[in-house]
Chains A and B, each alone.
Chain A
């Protein structure tokens, strides 16, 4: 147990070090588009968006939930990238040749991605706050938002890592990534509520776990606990199933790749 903690702490520190060196810029490129969405589109579509349709005082407060979940989505789907590089340059092999628990590397990655994502979500909520978006459910609501983000993020990170272990080349990885992420966003309630979508689109959006995460977070920001409880219960169930499926699949991919 003591050994397990030592390994995971050291591996997680490595990700932090890399982030602070390699990705100083990348940290910004990750947050920036989200803030851009929030500030730019939030204000731009202020007029276009019908307050009746979005059921919110203004578009930016409607959009906040979507931007939070989009952040979780992007970070989660990119969560395996570093492992992909580790696999390709042999570093992963070096790590796995040491007497560490076979799950330590993966666990360190979950820890790291979850932490970074949560910090980014807090930044987004902070910026939204500056634009007058006050979460209706207060600090407890923010904690619940982080929790939903984590549940969704774990499954996504698992998919991403499974892909990193399975793909033959990193070109494949990035094309699948690109192929997944945009439709996930547009076929969800991130930008438009389900009720305002064309029928076919709404049907597809219902199948997207992202929609459920957004629809649970949105009332936490806009209205309050009474409206939030039902979608919260649903999203917890959906996320449990989603995570179980993703973790099962990634465990298989991992075992195939590493034995």
Chain B
């Protein structure tokens, strides 16, 4: 699928009085795709998004949206995009419809056009019943839907969503994934951020893994996984034996059948060429070091393995990594 470039980011950097939020980001987003910035809290996702929607000036580098520079042609850019902020940017005292009417005026729509779009959007996000209630009566999921309707009101070529499903229940998340896919079907380019691996995996066409302000990997979920090569052998040891994990890791590193070894809270993740050759070697080493193995399994690389391989840590502290797989 050969596609034109919707967004071009080149050597982008942002420093907030002394704090480097992002540095040297370069990537392209193609027209019509769902693109995600995947990274943990504080990675720099919102900062990147805010620069692209012209709310922040970059400290270095540049970015263009549909060919327009986000600093020099900011107003032009604003006319082409829609934005759904990370916070529920809702005025509790206005009704859903009043939110949309306000935005209609801010996008300079005529009254008729505004009303026509509002009716359509309220139907799309299924808020028709509650449209004339003040937003303070809305549930979290309904606020999110209103947020999305607001983002779509300008009929944007590109929709930016900052952590659209953060903190939502499973039902609402699936609804939102559904809307996002509908948007792509209508030809809208979707740029989103997320710290959910399953969301990036299942929803996005391509993603950039971002960590500590830098892009660590870029590609489709499938490309990234096959890019790792081989399989992952996951070894779990008893809590009593965690002290032996480091020596085990050391003795495995450098063996011909083993590509890399990373320690996790419950044991080791070992990337191997082929599990058939590696498993005996691993078990043999564990035996030799008297390291009791509670559990051992191997699987094709998953996105969490990709994340660990490129950043050296899991996306969230706690284990096991949220599989979600709804």
Chain A residues with a Cβ under 8 A of chain B: 3, 6-7, 9-11, 13-14, 17-18, 21-22, 89-91, 93-100, 258-259
Query: Is B56 part of the contact surface with A, judged by Cβ < 8 Å?
Result: yes
Q: Which residues of B contact A21 (CB under 8 A)?
A: 93, 134
Q: Which of A10, A22, A90, A259 contacts B87 (CB 8 A)?
A: A90
Taking a contact as CB atoms under 8 Å apart, the answer to whether B85 and A99 are in contact is: no
Complexed CA–CA distance, A7 and B91 (Å): 17
Q: Which one of B103-111, B125-133, B314-322 contacts A?
A: B103-111
Taking a contact as CB atoms under 8 Å apart, the answer to whether B102 and A14 are in contact is: yes
Complexed CA–CA distance, A258 and B74 (Å): 13
Complex A-B: 21 CB contacts under 8 Å:
A6-B105, A6-B108, A14-B94, A14-B98, A17-B98, A18-B93, A22-B93, A89-B87, A89-B90, A90-B86, A91-B89, A93-B50, A94-B83, A94-B89, A97-B54, A97-B55, A97-B85, A99-B78, A99-B107, A258-B55, A259-B57
Q: Which residues of A contact B108 (CB under 8 A)?
A: 3, 6-7, 99
A100 to chain B, nearest CB (A): 5
Taking a contact as CB atoms under 8 Å apart, the answer to whether B85 and A14 are in contact is: no
Q: Which residues of B contact A6 (CB under 8 A)?
A: 105, 108
Query: Is B79 part of the contact surface with A, judged by Cβ < 8 Å?
Result: yes
Q: Which residues of A contact B50 (CB under 8 A)?
A: 93
Complexed CA–CA distance, A22 and B90 (Å): 14
Taking a contact as CB atoms under 8 Å apart, the answer to whether A17 and B93 are in contact is: yes
Number of A-B contacts (CB under 8 A): 74
B290 to chain A, nearest CB (A): 55
Q: Which residues of B contact A97 (CB under 8 A)?
A: 53-55, 78, 81, 83, 85
Nearest residue, chain B, Cβ from A96 = B55
Taking a contact as CB atoms under 8 Å apart, the answer to whether A93 and B88 are in contact is: no
Query: Is B297 part of the contact surface with A, judged by Cβ < 8 Å?
Result: no
Query: Is B323 part of the contact surface with A, judged by Cβ < 8 Å?
Result: no
Query: Is B294 part of the contact surface with A, judged by Cβ < 8 Å?
Result: no
Nearest residue, chain A, Cβ from B154 = A98
Q: Which residues of A contact B57 (CB under 8 A)?
A: 259
Taking a contact as CB atoms under 8 Å apart, the answer to whether B53 and A17 are in contact is: no
Chain B residues with a Cβ under 8 A of chain A: 50, 53-57, 75, 78-79, 81, 83, 85-94, 98, 101-103, 105-108, 134, 150, 154
Complexed CA–CA distance, A21 and B92 (Å): 10
Most buried by A among B53, B93, B101: B93
Complexed CA–CA distance, A14 and B95 (Å): 11
A111 to chain B, nearest CB (A): 15
Taking a contact as CB atoms under 8 Å apart, the answer to whether A259 and B88 are in contact is: no
Nearest residue, chain B, Cβ from A19 = B93
Complexed CA–CA distance, A255 and B102 (Å): 24
Taking a contact as CB atoms under 8 Å apart, the answer to whether A259 and B56 are in contact is: yes
Nearest residue, chain B, Cβ from A18 = B93
Q: Which residues of B contact A94 (CB under 8 A)?
A: 83, 85, 89, 150
Nearest residue, chain A, Cβ from B84 = A94
Nearest residue, chain A, Cβ from B75 = A99
Complexed CA–CA distance, A7 and B105 (Å): 6
Taking a contact as CB atoms under 8 Å apart, the answer to whether B90 and A10 are in contact is: no
Complexed CA–CA distance, A93 and B75 (Å): 15
B136 to chain A, nearest CB (A): 10
Taking a contact as CB atoms under 8 Å apart, the answer to whether A18 and B88 are in contact is: no
Q: Which residues of B contact A90 (CB under 8 A)?
A: 85-89
Complexed CA–CA distance, A99 and B78 (Å): 5
Taking a contact as CB atoms under 8 Å apart, the answer to whether A98 and B93 are in contact is: no
Taking a contact as CB atoms under 8 Å apart, the answer to whether B55 and A93 are in contact is: yes
Q: Which of B79, B89, B90, B91 contacts A99 (CB 8 A)?
A: B79
Q: Which of A22, A89, A98, A258 contacts B106 (CB 8 A)?
A: A98
A163 to chain B, nearest CB (A): 19
Complexed CA–CA distance, A3 and B92 (Å): 26
Complexed CA–CA distance, A97 and B98 (Å): 18
B49 to chain A, nearest CB (A): 10
Taking a contact as CB atoms under 8 Å apart, the answer to whether B105 and A9 are in contact is: yes
Q: Which residues of B contact A91 (CB under 8 A)?
A: 89-91
Q: Which residues of A contact B86 (CB under 8 A)?
A: 90
Complexed CA–CA distance, A7 and B107 (Å): 8
